[in-house]
Structure 1
Amino acid sequence: MSVHRNARCRGPYGGEGDQAGGTGCDDPAVFEVARYRLPALRVCAVHLGPCLLLASGVLWPPEITLIGRP
């Protein structure tokens, strides 16, 4: 789990396009959500639910990996 310790949240949309640097959430990423033909989306606990509903390419059923601790 320490590999992603410095990862920051990119939720809920994933920061594609003009938001490629992120979405302004400064919390550390706790989960990684697999997406189809897109890089996995690293999100905090607050943005996990919204990213499952709003981010593009999220697999269904979702593949969620715990990568850190809140």
Structure 2
Amino acid sequence: MGVHRNARCRGPYGGEGEDAGGTDCSDPAVFEVVRHGRPPLWVCPVHLGPALLLAPGVLWPPVIRLIRHP
């Protein structure tokens, strides 16, 4: 979990790479959503649900990992 200590939320649509846009949320990421053919999407608790429904490439059933304690 320590690797993602400074990760910021990229939800609900996700950005590609560290510098990409995709969200106005500056909360710390708590979850990692695995996606097909794209990098994992790091999201806060508020954006987890919308990311599962709206982000491209999300696997179904979804694969979600806890990367930081809220």
TM-score by length of 1: 0.89
Please report how far the alpha carbon of residue 69 of structure 1 lies from its aligned counterpart in structure 2 after TM superposition.
Answer: 1.4
Q: Matched residue of 1:52: which SS?
A: helix
Q: Decide whether the 8 Å contact of 2:12 with 2:22 is kept in 1.
A: no
Per-residue Cα deviation, 1:7-38 (whole angstroms, up to 9, x for no partner): 0000000035xxx2341101000000000100
Runs of 4+ off more than 3 Å: none
Q: Matched residue of 2:69: which SS?
A: coil
TM-score by length of 2: 0.89
RMSD: 1.5
Q: Decide whether the 8 Å contact of 1:11 with 1:25 is kept in 2.
A: yes
Identity over aligned pairs, percent: 76
Q: Aligned residue pairs: how many?
A: 68
AA partner of residue 2 (structure 1): G
More strand by share: 1
Matched, 1:33 2:28: no
Distance 2:56 2:2 in 1: 27
Matched, 1:12 2:2: no
More helix by share: 1
Any gaps of 5 or more consecutive residues in structure 2?
A: none
